[in-house]
């Protein structure tokens, strides 16, 4: 079975003291709530990718970015094993929201308890990441060199 490695960036966005998420319009995970993010382009750093993705999907700018950790996510199908390295950032965002309607809609939660009530509507890995963030349990599980060697 073929293995495919990818770098993906995800963001826990704080905007005006509230959490900002993305309601997806496309598969996979259509009509589910998730973290804003996407694939890292070939000649791009993860920092550059998260700034680009946040702006593309929300219209917001990043005042402060902090890499919280890296999560390894495996996806299996009949043809391949897809191994995603999810670089999770905490973003302090500002500006005016300008949704990219073809990607999805912005969902804002003022409190963590409201997020917990909507757990069933979340992409499972994204909810897991948010829970780990709340408990300060995100961390690096491999060195950046090891990740880059596997992907390149």
pLDDT in tens, 107-145: 999 988 899 999 999 999 999 999 988 888 666 544 444
Query: Which of 114, 142, 146, 149 does the annotation list as catalytic?
Result: 114
Mean per-residue pLDDT of the chain: 88
Domains and CATH numbers, the chain: 2-146 (3.90.79.10)
Among the listed residues 43, 77, 50, 78, the one whose alpha carbon sits nearest the alpha carbon of residue 64: 50
Query: Are the C-beta atoms of 10 and 88 separated by less than 8 Å?
Result: yes
pTM comes to 0.87
Query: Are the C-beta atoms of 23 and 105 separated by less than 8 Å?
Result: yes
Q: Supply 102's token pair.
A: 């073809």
Q: Supply 97's token pair.
A: 């929201």
The residues near 141 (Cβ < 8 Å, ≥ 6 apart) are: 69, 70, 71, 72
pLDDT in tens, 18-55: 999 999 998 889 999 999 999 999 999 999 999 999 99
Coil, strand or helix: which one is 138? coil
Whether 114 is a known active-site residue: answer: yes
Angle at 63 between CA 61 and CA 68, to 5 degrees: 105
Say how far residue 26 (Cα) sits from the centre of its chain. 15
* Interval 100-104 mean pLDDT: 78
Q: DSSP states of 62-85 as a string?
A: EEEEEEEEEEEEEEE-SSEEEEEE
């Amino acid at each position: 079975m073929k293995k495919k490695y990818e770098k993906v960036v995800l963001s826990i966005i704080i905007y005006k003291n509230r959490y900002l998420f993305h309601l997806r319009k496309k598969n996979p995970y259509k009509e589910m709530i998730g973290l804003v993010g996407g694939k890292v382009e070939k000649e791009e750093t993860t920092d550059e990718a998260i700034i680009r993705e946040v702006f593309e999907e929300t219209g917001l700018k990043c005042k402060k970015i902090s890499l919280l950790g890296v999560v390894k996510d495996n996806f299996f199908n009949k043809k391949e094993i897809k191994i995603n390295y999810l670089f999770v950032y905490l973003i302090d965002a500002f500006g005016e929201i300008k949704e990219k309607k073809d990607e999805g809609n912005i969902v804002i939660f003022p409190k963590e308890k409201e997020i917990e009530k909507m757990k069933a509507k979340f992409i499972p890995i994204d909810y897991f990441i948010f829970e780990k963030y709340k408990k300060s349990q995100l961390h690096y599980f491999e060195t950046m060199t090891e990740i880059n060697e596997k992907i390149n």
